Amino acid sequence: MGPAALAWEDGTVIYAGPASGLSPDGRTSRDAVEVDGAVLPGFVDCHTHLPFYGWRADEFEARMAGKTYRDLHGSGGIFRSARLLAEASDDEVMAFCRPLLEEMLEHGTTTLELKTGYGLSVEAELRQARLARRLSQEIEQTATVTLLACHAVPEGKTREEWVKEVCEVLIPAAAAERLAEAVDVYVEDIAFTVQDLERVAAAARAHGMAIRSHADQLGPSGAAEAAVAVGARSADHLNHVSPEGVRALGGSKMAAVVLPVSTLFLRADPPPVAELISSGAAVALATDFNPGTSPCLSIPEAISVAASLYRLPPLAAVVAATLNAAWVLGLHDRLGSLEPGKRADFVVLDSPDVATIPYRPGHNPVAQTWIAGERRYRRS
């Protein structure tokens, strides 16, 4: 195979293909860059829990000593992160998150999702969504915001009361301020039900928001099938998805988002990735970056873990972390692949071999990160 070329104009790709096909008239070659390493689309991290504040390393130690996620759910976990966020000022949260997003850029992430879910009240959820919007306007990357309205049941409320408040107050308020593009529901026996997902999905649709679901992470719940039924964009985690859920995902247009680092951290059963792919499901891959169960912000590291845990081949993992992930965020028409008409977001690896990404865990293979045809990071 001969040398390849990528060219862009005004931040938009105008050519991608064999170097022999690059126009010699200077127009298409003006913004081209010659590199030795592989050039890939910029990574799209379609599942993170930023913005948050503070870490929970002691919970990691507790799990190593035998505690489970369920054991820690009441006193720690989501509720602990909610307390940490509530105790921090807006400026403290922003100062904590900015370096993390810069580090993500250095690891090739050019687009990402930001989530709420650590508010656990209407006002606190709206505050977190406003902080997410503020972050999205300050960073180099493109960022969408997801309202994880149903992450945990707030103290002092029943599950039914909170779902009603989410549907009747929180979602309309977020929509009025244009704070979020999507709404997410954590379906689990310690969280919310399939019926809650259906109610929240109806409210989200009524306000023009996409639907997503944390599905079948800790046990089988039927969430994947329900997510397909309500027209969600994705079902995420899927460690315990049923054969019926696999078939439903394979016959749908929604993505199956796998989160390998949280699988590793929780020592959970891996999702049936090979079966999902063979069913026809579009598999996306993300970091699940959060302070409790996946304190990893690097897509290359997530790809490496996915290779070992899921036997996901390097090229399939790259597609999962670029084009398929862009579809999850509703940005596939503009981002996620290097083809004419899309934005010139790309990474340059320090090796011509894409297999280097999973082969060298702990090593950042990204030598350069470009956004809209402008270099935003170069390894010194």
Between 57-66, 166-175, 203-212, 293-302, the lowest mean confidence (pLDDT) is in 57-66
The answer to whether residue 346 is domain-embedded is yes
pLDDT over 90 (residue 75):
no
Question: Are 301 and 368 found together in one domain?
Answer: no
Question: Are 122 and 139 found together in one domain?
Answer: yes
The answer to whether residue 99 is domain-embedded is yes
Question: Are 194 and 307 found together in one domain?
Answer: yes
Question: Are 13 and 105 found together in one domain?
Answer: no
DSSP 187: B
Question: Are 348 and 240 found together in one domain?
Answer: no
Question: Are 163 and 16 found together in one domain?
Answer: no
The two tokens of residue 257 are: 């988002």
- With a CB cutoff of 8 Å and minimum separation 6, the contacts of 337 are 41, 322, 323, 326
In this prediction the pTM is: 0.95
pLDDT over 90 (residue 29):
no
Question: Are 312 and 344 found together in one domain?
Answer: no
Could you give the number of structural domains in the chain? 2
The answer to whether residue 320 is domain-embedded is yes
pLDDT over 60 (residue 31):
no
Average pLDDT over residues 216-230: 97
- Rounded distance, CA 315 to CA 297, Å? 20
pLDDT over 80 (residue 2):
no
- With a CB cutoff of 8 Å and minimum separation 6, the contacts of 342 are 12, 13, 333, 334, 335, 336
**For residue range 135-164, what is the model confidence (pLDDT) as tens digits?**
999 999 999 999 999 999 999 999 999 999
Question: Are 194 and 60 found together in one domain?
Answer: yes
The answer to whether residue 184 is domain-embedded is yes
The two tokens of residue 175 are: 């929509």
**For residue range 100-136, what is the model confidence (pLDDT) as tens digits?**
999 999 999 999 999 999 999 999 999 999 999 999 9
**For residue range 34-54, what is the model confidence (pLDDT) as tens digits?**
788 999 999 999 999 999 999
Higher pLDDT, 148 or 28: 148
Question: Are 109 and 33 found together in one domain?
Answer: no
The two tokens of residue 127 are: 């505050």
Residues spanned by the domain of 111:
43-328
CATH number of the structural domain spanning residue 223 = 3.20.20.140
The answer to whether residue 333 is domain-embedded is no
Task: Report pLDDT for 23.
Answer: 66
Question: Are 306 and 353 found together in one domain?
Answer: no
Cis peptide upstream of residue 51 (ω within 30 degrees of 0):
yes
pLDDT over 90 (residue 21):
no
- Rounded distance, CA 37 to CA 206, Å? 47
Per-residue pLDDT band at 25 (split at 50, 70, 90): low
Question: Are 37 and 47 found together in one domain?
Answer: no
CATH number of the structural domain spanning residue 350 = 2.30.40.10
The answer to whether residue 190 is domain-embedded is yes
Task: Determine contact, residues 358/304, Cβ cutoff 8 Å.
Answer: yes
Question: Are 121 and 13 found together in one domain?
Answer: no
The answer to whether residue 174 is domain-embedded is yes
Between 66-75, 105-114, 223-232, 250-259, the lowest mean confidence (pLDDT) is in 66-75
The answer to whether residue 309 is domain-embedded is yes
Average pLDDT over residues 47-68: 89
SS3 assignment, position 143: strand
Task: Report pLDDT for 327.
Answer: 98
